[in-house]
Amino acid sequence: MLIRKSDPNAIPSSEITPRSVYMNRRTFMAAGALGAAALAADRFLLAMAPEPVQADTKLATVPSPLSAKGLTPTSFYDITHYNNFYEFGPNKDDPARYAGRLKTRPWTVEVDGLVKKKKVFDIDALLKLRPLEDRVYRFRCVEAWSMVIPWVGYSLSELIKQCEPLSSAKYVQFTSVDRPGQEPGISEVNLDWPYTEGLRMDEAMHPLTMLTLGLYGQLLPNQDGAPVRVVVPWKYGFKSAKSIVKVKFVKDQPGTTWNEMASYTYGFYSNVNPNVDHTEWSQKTQRVIGAPFWKQLEPTLMFNGYGDQVASLYKGMDLNKYF
Amino acid sequence: MSNRVVIVLKALVHIACLAPIAWLIFHLIENTLGPDPTHAAAFFTGRGTLRLLVITLAITPVRKLVPKLGWIIRFRRMMGLYAFFYACLHLLTYVWLYSGFSLAAMIDDISQRKFITAGLAAWFLMLPLALTSTAWSIRKLGGKNWNRLHRLVYVAAISGVIHYWWGVKQGVRTPLTITVALCIVLAARPVLAWAKRQSAAEVPAERSI
């Protein structure tokens, strides 16, 4: 597959925003109410900031039976302008501003640790490894907000199988890219870089767990974890490592960034669970991103609504203890 | 300052304080406040409360520093009441948008989460000040007692800023500006009192020469 990185004639991602969102923005810009000028100035500054460059990145995809039905995806604009991606800064709009600095080509993902076949996958090889599927998943951030995201990719198990992990491999650790020169948040935010995440082997092999290369039918925008990330829809968003460069199979439960930062509130499992609160806020409810204010609040679903598929992974476990 | 000018200025202050609320309601209804309108409304009203509190607290030191501006005392009650009005709207975003009016959820929050506790404490500290803002209350309490009671505003403002810091994520420094502003208007009080004592002490010294 030929991917042009910074074709000056390319359509920027902002042009692909759904029409309804665009129309909304226009009416909102036109609104003459007091203060609109201030907000317009804000938009202007946002437009001035370096926006991630997206080349013509339409992907050939197939539908997936694992796609959640009857859900309306969050707008492309919100999915790409409301992000937690601390490598680019702690604020929600930092990734949209600064993620364009990350060079996502060339890119390789190294598979290491307890496997028969240690491999280095080029990003183009990953794009061709399996047919790319459209999968609409619920997304739940630990901060009690939620989205519906049409991801593109395939089950992570497809990659794992190719590497033939040894029977001693009980966990998988993911490492995100660590380039302070391209990721301004790394020097600004006091976390133990590089960002690492981990899953138990059976979680990583679960068909719902995705190796994700795109969303809305195109290559991943940088602020959403380009060029390749993991998506685990029944866990809080931070478990889904972004911009990964390494996948390592290990015997013992690996260290993970947020767990090491504050293990009392960010558990290793971090399954979406309305009955276990974060220390700073309740997890019983969540706010739907993009919904009008009177429809934002909704109850949190156990395992983010994926209980039928994943509850058996945790049979016999005390989820209040292993949160 | 003539009464007429003060009346015109007061009208302008009313507009400056109410227009942002009209703007907020308009954008809430249109759903043009961004991806998370609940958070945007809470942030907007919370930030407004703290700004108005700092403006209220700036009036006394500014008067002492610039005697010509003595007349701005006539705006202090108004600014304080607007700060409380914004605090009520801020509390409403919590009770309605975050908690869905669920008493159980709120009791849970207040008992477990220090940032909610600090915010609620700040609101409760402002409540008696708003209730005793009338001339009748001042007469009834007596100026001395009234002044003593209204010193609670310092505690309320400090609680509000602590609530802000506890409410943002680690690494986020947005509360810094308002914190510095509050520190300045609070520190101005002892500093100006000290300067006054100094100059009072100097006068007799000069005389004795």
Kindly indicate the confidence band of residue A99, based on its pLDDT and cuts at 50, 70 and 90: very high
**Angle (nearest 5°) at CA A229 between A226 and A230:** 160
CB contact under 8 A, B30 and A90: no
Structural domains in chain A, CATH included, are 11-48 (no CATH), 58-314 (3.90.420.10)
CA distance A195 to chain B (A): 16
Nearest to A232 by CA among A251, A256, A205, A254: A205
User: Which residues of B are less than 8 Å from A35 in CB distance?
Assistant: 19-20, 23
**B202 — contact with chain A (CB < 8 Å)?**
no
Q: What confidence tens digit (pLDDT) does each residue in B76-111 have?
A: 999 999 999 999 999 999 999 999 999 999 998 888
| Rounded Cα–Cα distance for residues A249 and A174 (Å) | 9
CB proximity list for B168: less than 8 A, separation 6 or greater: B174, B175
Q: Cβ atoms within 10 A of the Cβ of A293, count?
A: 21
Task: Give the nearest partner residue to A91 out of B29, B39, B172, using CB atoms.
Answer: B172
| Rounded Cα–Cα distance for residues A139 and B32 (Å) | 22
Strand partners, A198: A173
CB contact under 8 A, A31 and B26: yes
Three-state DSSP class for residue B6: helix
> Considering only alpha carbons, which residue of chain A is nearest residue B31?
A292
CB contact under 8 A, A188 and B34: no
CB contact under 8 A, B171 and A86: yes
User: Given the DSSP bridges, would you call strands A229-231 and A244-250 parallel, antiparallel or unpaired?
Assistant: unpaired
Q: Residues of B numbered 44-83 whose beta carbons fall under 8 angstroms of chain A's beta carbons: which are they?
A: none
B143 or A88: which carries more pLDDT confidence?
Answer: A88
Q: Mean per-residue pLDDT for B49-75?
A: 95
E strands in B48-104? none
0.90 surpassed by complex ipTM: no
For residue B206, what pLDDT is reported?
55
Nearest-Å Rg of the Cα atoms of chain A is 19
- As given in the structure block, the two tokens for residue A168 are 């001693």
CB-count burial class (<10 Å; 0-12, 13-18, 19+) for A234: buried
Kindly indicate the confidence band of residue A8, based on its pLDDT and cuts at 50, 70 and 90: very low
> Considering only alpha carbons, which residue of chain A is nearest residue B174?
A91
| Rounded Cα–Cα distance for residues A173 and A250 (Å) | 7
The pLDDT of residue B160 is above 90: yes
The pLDDT of residue A77 is above 60: yes
The pLDDT of residue A56 is above 60: no
CB contact under 8 A, A190 and B98: no
User: Given the DSSP bridges, would you call strands A108-113 and A244-250 parallel, antiparallel or unpaired?
Assistant: parallel
- As given in the structure block, the two tokens for residue A319 are 């989820």
Alpha carbon A66 to its chain's center: 17
CB contact under 8 A, A34 and B108: no
Q: Residues of B numbered 137-176 whose beta carbons fall under 8 angstroms of chain A's beta carbons: which are they?
A: 169-172
| Rounded Cα–Cα distance for residues B32 and B49 (Å) | 22
Single pTM value for the model: 0.82
The pLDDT of residue A197 is above 70: yes
**B39 — contact with chain A (CB < 8 Å)?**
yes
For residue A27, what pLDDT is reported?
44
Helix (H), strand (E) at residue B143? helix B143-150
CA distance B144 to chain A (A): 41
B77 contacts B55 by C-beta, under 8 angstroms: no
Kindly indicate the confidence band of residue B199, based on its pLDDT and cuts at 50, 70 and 90: confident
Q: Mean per-residue pLDDT for B29-51?
A: 96
Task: Give the nearest partner residue to B23 out of A25, A35, A293, using CB atoms.
Answer: A35
CA distance A34 to chain B (A): 6
| Rounded Cα–Cα distance for residues B41 and B20 (Å) | 11
